[in-house]
Amino acid sequence: MKKAINRALQTVYTMWLREMLRFWRSKSRIIGSIATPLFFLVFLGAGFSSSFQVEGGKAFDPSYLAPGLIGMVVLFSSMMGGVSIIWDREFGFLKEILIAPVSRFFVALGKAVGGVTTSVIQGILILIIARLMGIEYDSFSGVLAAIVIMFVSGIGFIGLGIAVASRIDSHEGFQMVMSFLTMPLVLLSGAFFPISKLPAWMTVLVYANPLTYGVEALRYFLLGESIIPISRSIIILLAFALAMTILGGKLFGKMKV
């Protein structure tokens, strides 16, 4: 029994280690992936605050965008991390893992934990850069809590990515997933606008979107404000993470090479 647990941990750690090594070797990709949200923050923030007013006649505060953009980065890089299984398959490495005498579930879990670590690192980078740009956070403990939220939502999206990747055959399909899944998820999450006064049809979609709860929770912990109660956001995020881990692990287990 102890041996089996050791083996499982070793599998998870090995897969995590691999993601870390690859992450470290692809610095240009990291810069690219955090550049996009920073452009959003700077240009969208400046554009919004010079043209739009929020309720009560005050100017739009760019710091409103920060939690949404962190959520976006976590979503993008987590989905990417999950879907990278397609690359592993296409370039053969997946065979090496799948023929090893280890449980596929722990392989998937290790991949997920590794991918989430890289997402959280990118999220933290945005957090720091935004702070340097003058965005103020509520409290330090709030920042720590926000990092936990990044982790939990990351696990959910990476599970989703793995589940999707296990079902699509080619990297062409990957492009489809990215445009039909990630973009709507971001736009329907309240990352860029408050979700309290949306038309009814859109409200339904927004509340069905797991990223909404991630962004709301981040906004709560970083800026001290949220529309959805924090306890509800946390419960939904945890449930999403758990469900996606099970789904991703299951579909990965059935994946053919």
Partner 1 sequence: MLYAIETEGITKRFDDITAVNKISISVKPGELFGLLGPNGAGKTTLISMLSTITEPTSGSAKVWGFDVEKDSSQVRENIGMVFQDTTLDDRLTGRENLDMHGRLYGLDGKTRKKRIEEVLALVELTERADSIVKTYSGGMMRRLEIARGLMHHPHVLFLDEPTLGLDPQTRNHIWEYIKVLNKVEGVTIVLTTHYMEEADHLCNRIAIIDHGDIVALDTPEALKDGLGGDVIILQLENPDDKSKLCDIYEKNGCAKIVSKQNGEVFITVKDGEHQIPHVLSLASNAGISILAVSLRKPTLDDVFLHHTGRAIRDRGASEIEQVGFKIRSRRK
- For partner 1, the binding residues (CB under 8 A) are 6-7, 10-11, 13-14, 17-18, 21-22, 25-26, 87, 90-102, 257
Q: Are 191 and 72 in contact (CB under 8 A)?
A: yes
Q: Burial, 112: exposed, middle or buried (Cβ in 10 Å; 0-12, 13-18, 19+)?
A: buried
- The CB-of-17 to partner 1 minimum distance in angstroms stands at 7
Q: For residues 1 and 99, which CB has a smaller minimum distance to partner 1 in the complex?
A: 99
| Residue among 20 and 44 whose Cβ is closer to partner 1 | 20
The smaller minimum CB distance to partner 1, of residues 84 and 119, is found at 84
Min CB(91)–partner 1 separation in Å:
7
Least distance between partner 1 and beta carbon 7 (Å): 6
229 vs 253, which CB is nearer to partner 1? 253
End-to-end Cα distance, the chain: 30
Residue 245 and residue 237: Cα distance in Å, rounded? 12
Does residue 116 contact residue 151 with C-beta atoms inside 8 Å? Answer: yes
Cα–Cα distance, 253 to 191 (Å, whole number): 34
Which residue's CB is nearer to partner 1, number 55 or number 96? 96
DSSP string, 93-128: HHHHHHTSSS-HHHHHHHHHHHHHHHHHHHHHHHHH
Nearest approach, Cβ of residue 30 and partner 1 (Å): 14
Residue closer to partner 1 by CB (options 18, 250) is: 18
CB of 130 to partner 1, least distance (A): 30
Q: Contacts for 179-188 with beta carbons within 8 Å, 24 or more apart? A: 181/79, 182/75, 182/76, 182/79, 185/75, 185/209, 185/210, 185/211, 186/71, 186/72, 186/75, 186/211, 188/212
What is the nearest approach in angstroms of partner 1 to the Cβ of residue 94? 8
